[in-house]
Structure 1
């Protein structure tokens, strides 16, 4: 084999090695960005409470909306109509969740934050989650959550946790008495202490 053939062979091997390395990096990024979530959730999906992007508060075909407490859903729909009059669109990012879906979200939070205690600041257990009971809704985009922060008390819709400006629950007494004090995060909410 001549020197030029040896050089070409080595160059080709280096390119193949670099390409294989690049593919490994791309695969790792794809896993980090969501492939793992799809694989780990398995059969969990819309029927378990996952909500498609830009789901309307009026979409009764999505269980995450349709299985919300009727009083919460009614207040949310009235607020959404009034917000729309001010050119603010309200979407449901998350609503009702099955216990299995909530457990999956909790496992992911533990993996992300490193412990049950740290995860509890963001995700309740299936046994204590207001989402599983159909009593909580996460609203987006940020403009809609901000609109609800300012006007939601008129409908009894109140932000419950300071670290989750998108999370709303129905507190009918707030209409007359004002919004209740917020908890810093779900871990400080006595309802989650079971």
Structure 2
């Protein structure tokens, strides 16, 4: 029952912005497929800009900018968590990590196109100057069982769910073993 509640609350946010996105699919699915992304994104959707293809299961140890661009302490925490999750039989992968400002802007522009206004878009995708992904201070994880595992054990690594509508979005928010603060309702609440 707890898992179902977390899933309903969790699949509504980050960059998918669509509660109908099935569990385990990329958190970028709803926005990345928006026609405006192709028009405004230009070359933003490249591996060099932190792009992770929809449905790709990126290892926390991959040698790609989405991982290597993360803050080193965050990257270490996510890798430690991934090792321990694997020992528990859970495959924890990264759906999105570091993003270039151009890629983040393309995601934001697509969300504005999809939701009709910058204000509505910000509930799901932040502007580059506001996004922790651009600074390398945020990571999105998957699949659903990994999200659930991290919700239970993330604080052991200092990893905390930042937004209530984004079950997959984690940042270093406490010392290892500390108590995570309650997540903000959504990115606009922070």
Which TM bucket (shorter chain)? 0.7 to 0.9
What's the counterpart of residue 186 of structure 1? 187
Query: Structure 1 segments of 4 or more deviating over 6 A?
Result: none
CA drift of 1:135 comes to 0.1
SS state at 2:94 partner:
strand
The question of whether the paired residues in 2 share the 8 Å contact of 1:93 and 1:140 is answered with: yes
Q: Report the counterpart of residue 24 of structure 1 in structure 2.
A: none
Identify the residue that residue 123 of structure 1 maps to in structure 2. Answer: 125
TM-score (norm 2): 0.77
CA contact (8 A) 1:174 1:180 kept: no
1:136 deviates by 0.1
* Distance change in 2, residues 1:152/1:40 (3 Å): same
Q: Does 1:55 align with 2:58?
A: yes
Alignment map for 1:1-194 (pairs within 5 Å):
34=33, 36=35, 37-38=37-38, 40-44=40-44, 45-52=46-53, 53-60=56-63, 62-173=64-175, 175-176=177-178, 178-189=179-190
Q: What CA distance in whole angstroms lies between the structure 2 residues aligned with 1:56 and 1:94?
A: 11
> TM-score, normalised to structure 1's length?
0.76
Shift of 1:97: 0.4
List per-residue Cα deviations over 1:20-68 (Å, max 9, x = no partner).
xxxxxxxxxxxx99483445433221101102411100002x1011110
Structure 2 CA distance for aligned equivalents of residues 69 and 80 of structure 1: 16
Which of 1 and 2 has greater Rg?
A: 1
Q: Calculate the aligned-residue CA RMSD, in Å.
A: 1.8
Change beyond 3 A, Cα 1:141–1:116: same
Q: Secondary structure at the match of 1:175?
A: coil
Distance in 2 (alpha carbons) for counterparts of 1:187 and 1:168: 16
**Separation (CA, whole Å) in 2 of partners of 1:173 and 1:86:** 23
Q: Give me the whole-angstrom Cα distance separating, in 2, the residues matched to 1:168 and 1:128.
A: 15
* Corresponding residue SS for 1:56: coil
1:86 shift after superposition: 1.1
**Quick one: distance in 2 between partners of 1:168 and 1:180?**
12
* Equivalent-residue separation in structure 1 for 2:33 and 2:182 (angstroms): 36
Change (3 A) 1:39 1:116: closer
**Post-superposition offset of 1:109:** 0.7
